[in-house]
Structure 1
Amino acid sequence: MNRSPRWRVALLASAAWLLPATASAAGSNEPPLQQTTCSFSGMVDELRAALKTGSPAYRKYVKERLKMAARLMPADQLLAAVHQERDPDVLEALGGALAGKASFSEDTSLIQPLLTRAASDADPALRAAAVRGLKGTGSVDAMGKNGNVVTYEQLIRDSAPEVRQAVVENLVHESAKVYFGHDKTVSETAVATALASKDPEAAAKLLSEVSMERVGHDTVERLRGNLRTDHPGLRAASATALGGVPGAEATSTRQSLVELYRNEKDPAVRKAALQGIARLGMGSARATLESLRGVAPGLDPEIDAWQSALGLGLQEWHLLLREKERIRK
């Protein structure tokens, strides 16, 4: 496998934990420094102490150092530590190091002990910590390569709210920060996970915050079907999600959102439908929005705000949304 110069720099940096200390300067009255090796157990002890009493910057440092060192160290000690650890904060850090090693070595089987703890540990705090250990990695792909023995669809059904929250945070972060909204599998996993959830708030956060720009037709249909759910928060989140679907789905999706606006009674759901319509059409949405004036007179100022923002000709959605919110205040 070809490796870039950047990889070699990273390899040297991660090897620093193995290097002996340098000798003292010539002529110094101090005794010469002795060669030493930073052991894995020593690093874990330092991690444990830092997580209890260290500053935020120091905690970040020791966790990042462990991640870098884990790339080169044999897996056995790290796997054993993940299996045995009982402190949630330490388990999360060890899990992050293990997940990073799995990604670096392209051996996704390494994360299986972490997945096992996420699914079956008796302590909900430790289950949540194991889930959080996967954050910032390509965890959806890794789960698939491990045969989907443990999935986010399963984990979102956990009885503990902290576990469900960790699932949501992982998927939102993975979509936005690992794949920058461009991964179809992550987006479709987020929708499937939301629809499998019994927690309406967790499901709504997934649907409204994960990018939908690459989802397929079947997933769009599932989102459209969710516009008929009994929970208004989920209807609103589904409308928000539908605003971000691919252009090939725009026409039929716009019709669904228009029908939602006309038939819906909940103002928050209607506002989400307007947002979805605006996002689907951007500049071309103005006529559709105008056709809805008077359907819910109390929301006509919302339509006015969208019309004003769309009239600015902004091409980036986040800028348009920010401008609309400024106008509406």
Structure 2
Amino acid sequence: MAHGYRTSTWRVALLAAAAWLLPATAGAQDAVPIQRVTCSFSNMLDELRAGLKTGSPAYRKYLLQHIKEAARSMPPGELIAAVEQERDPAVLEALGAALATHAGFTDDTTVLQPLLKRAEQDADPAARAAAVRGLRGTGSVEAMAKNGNAVTYERLIRDPSPEVREAVVGNLVQEDATVYAGHDRTLSETAVNTALASTDPEMAAKLLREVSMEQVGSETVRKITGQLKSENPTLRAASASALGGVPGSESAGATSSLVELYRNEKDPAVRKAALQGIARLGLSSALPTLSSLRGVAPALDPEIAAWETALERGLQEWTLVLREKERIRK
């Protein structure tokens, strides 16, 4: 391909972009004739680079989407070279997303190796974070496994840069929600292992709170339960929330652990998380358990009462129960 790559859709896009640049007040006699142009990958990259710097939000969004669409059928050589050489983090992220799109469309995850290498080894933390974000919204956990797990989120979460750690968490949360809709065991267990590997309690807590646990296995439930004894209250609360979402086969043990946490905990926020976990695990069947906890922490008895009232409504969808409970407590 080299610089001979062409696409009719890209030529149309360039014509449309040129039209947008015409002054709105120009008369027909002043209009600049639209010229047919030849589009190479280098031209596409130049347009992307310029547009990301000076284009409107809508135009930037268009450019990002277009290069991803073009990458589906583009021979990957130039794209890989660009990922290896790019120094602008915003452009690198866009190129990484395009390369990830190509990998998903062709089922050739080996092309992601240069991006994964930069995510872990680039000297610039902004570039490392951009390389990680390039994988967002894709099946990145599976892709890492297919590349031999030479680079994993469990390793990337230890990066000294907060921006990289935030990118890791953002990737896992979004992949859980948009790629698997909370139904992938491997993704969920990777998120737990990544949280446990983290030295940043806030990032670990975010993973435990926001990634679905509905498919995790017994060993992962054990790992989450162990975090109820963390010295960090935010992490204890997040672990309690995570236990509330484990599979039904694990609910008895999880409920017992949460009851013990509530009885022994001193932090009100952690106790509230424990109550929520108990309610979520059992729904209406949790009523006796919740009632048994009245008086343990008298200041939180109104919280228990709110859960009891919400659960007595017989709602079977957790989001509706949670919404009703929050309405009662207002």
TM-score with structure 2 setting the length:
0.90
Question: Retained in 2: the 8 A contact 1:15–1:69?
Answer: no
- Return the alpha-carbon distance in structure 2 between the equivalents of residues 52 and 105 of structure 1: 30
What residue identity is the alignment partner of 2:47?
E
Count of residue pairs brought into register by the alignment: 311
Match for residue 9 of structure 1? none
What residue identity is the alignment partner of 2:225?
R
- Return the alpha-carbon distance in structure 1 between the equivalents of residues 12 and 59 of structure 2: 21
Match for residue 276 of structure 1? 277
Deviations 1:74-107 (A, max 9, x none): 1011001101111111111110000010010000
- Return the alpha-carbon distance in structure 2 between the equivalents of residues 280 and 242 of structure 1: 8
1:52 aligns with 2:53: yes
Partner SS state of residue 294, structure 1: coil
Match for residue 116 of structure 1? 117
Residues 32 and 58 (structure 1 numbering): CA distance in 2 closer, same or farther, change over 3 Å?
closer
How much does 1:47 deviate? 1.2
Match for residue 229 of structure 1? 230
Residues 21 and 218 (structure 1 numbering): CA distance in 2 closer, same or farther, change over 3 Å?
closer
1:241 aligns with 2:234: no
How much does 1:33 deviate? 6.5
Percent identical pairs in the alignment equals 69
How much does 1:321 deviate? 1.1
What residue identity is the alignment partner of 1:324?
K
1:312 aligns with 2:306: no
- Return the alpha-carbon distance in structure 1 between the equivalents of residues 149 and 14 of structure 2: 45
Question: Retained in 1: the 8 A contact 2:144–2:152?
Answer: yes
1:85 aligns with 2:86: yes
Deviations 1:273-313 (A, max 9, x none): 00000000011111111110110011111111111111222
Deviations 1:237-258 (A, max 9, x none): 0000000000000011100000
1:123-272 alignment, distance < 5 Å = 123-272=124-273
How much does 1:17 deviate? 2.4
RMSD in angstroms over aligned alpha carbons?
A: 1.9
Match for residue 5 of structure 1? none
Q: Which runs of 4+ in 1 moved over 6 A?
A: 18-22, 29-33
1:16 aligns with 2:9: yes
What residue identity is the alignment partner of 1:228?
K
Residues 63 and 21 (structure 1 numbering): CA distance in 2 closer, same or farther, change over 3 Å?
closer
How much does 1:21 deviate? 9.3
How much does 1:51 deviate? 1.3
- Return the alpha-carbon distance in structure 2 between the equivalents of residues 90 and 324 of structure 1: 45
- Return the alpha-carbon distance in structure 1 between the equivalents of residues 144 and 32 of structure 2: 52
How much does 1:19 deviate? 7.2
Question: Retained in 1: the 8 A contact 2:315–2:321?
Answer: yes
- Return the alpha-carbon distance in structure 1 between the equivalents of residues 287 and 92 of structure 2: 51
Further displaced range: 316-325 or 169-178: 316-325
Question: Retained in 1: the 8 A contact 2:287–2:311?
Answer: yes
Residues 297 and 93 (structure 1 numbering): CA distance in 2 closer, same or farther, change over 3 Å?
same
What residue identity is the alignment partner of 1:268?
A
What residue identity is the alignment partner of 1:121?
D
Question: Retained in 2: the 8 A contact 1:136–1:170?
Answer: yes
- Return the alpha-carbon distance in structure 1 between the equivalents of residues 14 and 202 of structure 2: 52
How much does 1:31 deviate? 11
- Return the alpha-carbon distance in structure 2 between the equivalents of residues 15 and 304 of structure 1: 64
- Return the alpha-carbon distance in structure 2 between the equivalents of residues 20 and 244 of structure 1: 46
How much does 1:20 deviate? 11
Question: Retained in 2: the 8 A contact 1:157–1:164?
Answer: yes
- Return the alpha-carbon distance in structure 2 between the equivalents of residues 179 and 198 of structure 1: 27
Further displaced range: 47-56 or 97-106: 47-56
Deviations 1:216-246 (A, max 9, x none): 0100011111111111111110000000000
Match for residue 6 of structure 1? none
What residue identity is the alignment partner of 1:243?
G
Question: Retained in 2: the 8 A contact 1:194–1:202?
Answer: yes
Residues 296 and 100 (structure 1 numbering): CA distance in 2 closer, same or farther, change over 3 Å?
same
TM-score with structure 1 setting the length:
0.91
What residue identity is the alignment partner of 2:323?
R
Residues 45 and 273 (structure 1 numbering): CA distance in 2 closer, same or farther, change over 3 Å?
same
- Return the alpha-carbon distance in structure 1 between the equivalents of residues 14 and 121 of structure 2: 43
What residue identity is the alignment partner of 1:17?
W
